[in-house]
Amino acid sequence: MKLICKKCGKNAKEIVLDTYEYIEGFPLRNVKAFECPKCREFIFTPEQVEEIEKRTEQLKAHIFAFERKITISGRSLVINIPEDLAHHLNIVKGKKVKLIPLDNRRFLVEAIEK
């Protein structure tokens, strides 16, 4: 497999990165990539990108899967939002979210940009 750096035209070498954050805050370990020997730019094959995306999604699901018990406030059912998740989604008291049913077991909570 040969990859050429688009900036330098040099042959990139296959390397393994100890840690790599494809999306900030979701570090992956032992990520295969190519590196340009001149400008040190990382280059990924489409297969490598696909694997990195898949692993990042798995990590996200693992980090942000919380179990919560439904409680009651007045006549409404309430689900507490964990602090980390609220911070990640930039949700604060008074902010609006949209609840979108996906099927008969799941719904999506979408932060409305304001």
Q: Which residues bind Zn ion (CB under 5 A)?
A: 5, 7-8, 36, 38-39, 41
For residues 27-55, one letter each, b for 16 or more C-beta atoms within 10 angstroms of the residue's C-beta and e for the rest, the string is ebeebebbbbeeeeeebbeeebeeebeeb
Give whichever of 7 and 29 is closer to Zn ion, judged by the CB atom.
7
Contacts of 56 (CB under 8 A, 6+ apart): 22, 23, 26, 28
Q: What's the half-sphere exposure (Cβ side, CA atoms, 13 Å) at 64?
A: 15
State in angstroms the smallest separation of the CB of 13 from Zn ion: 11
Residue 105 CA to residue 20 CA, distance in Å, equals 34
For the CB of residue 11, give the shortest distance to Zn ion in the complex, in Å: 10
Nearer to Zn ion, 39 or 78 (CB): 39
Cβ at position 17, least distance to Zn ion in Å: 16
Query: Which CB, 16 or 39, lies closer to Zn ion?
Result: 39
- CB-nearer residue toward Zn ion: 33 or 56: 33
